[in-house]
Amino acid sequence: MRRAVCPGSFDPVTNGHLDIVGRASRLFDEVIIGVLINQSKTGLFTIEERIEMLREATSSYANVRVASFHGLLVDFCRAQGAAVVVKGLRAVSDFDYELQMAQMNIGLSGVETLFMPTNPLYSFLSSSLVKDVVKWGGDASAYVPDFVGERLVTRLKQN
């Protein structure tokens, strides 16, 4: 079975993330969305909320599942039986960082990295940017699933 991991913090999931996951789901038998637990950062949404939103957003893909992890990505890949990490690249600046990570990952464990260019519709999109737009009263509905947008508005009104 060809299995891949799409890692990230997904705080929150965007249509750019979903574009990469959907495209990866056509290339691999199984895609595992790995939600990084970073204890040094406090996210807008809890890990459980992110997993719930990702499961809802990817429910139409029979070969996609969601799990959380902490520690090294390569250890998570090994535990999941995945030999490939799929990363979306928005710009050359993403490549500079991601190439270093890919080279370290293959050196540590032999896990390969597939770089997938982002759909141009989402080349500027990030979770941080979406949060900022919503925080300041803007409309981010074109960039996240409807239910994520609703949760963003509700959460940011509370803060």
Binding site for substrate, by residue number, is 9, 41, 73, 87
> Are the beta carbons of 105 and 74 closer than 8 angstroms?
yes
Given the residues 3, 23, 65, 90, the one annotated as active site = 90
Given the residues 50, 127, 131, 151, the one annotated as active site = 127
Give, as one character, the DSSP assignment of residue 44.
S
41 included as an active-site residue:
yes
Nearest CA among 53, 61, 49 for reference residue 21: 61
90 included as an active-site residue:
yes
Given the residues 17, 50, 131, 151, the one annotated as active site = 17
Q: How many CB atoms lie within 10 A of CB 4?
A: 24
Q: Which residues are annotated as a binding site?
A: 9-10, 17, 41, 73, 87-90, 98, 122-128
Q: Which residues are annotated as a binding site for ATP?
A: 9-10, 17, 88-90, 98, 122-128
70 included as an active-site residue:
no
Tell me the C-alpha distance between 43 and 111, whole Å.
28
CB neighbour list of residue 40: distance below 8 Å, 6 or more residues apart: none
131 included as an active-site residue:
no
Residues with a catalytic annotation lie at 17, 41, 90, 127
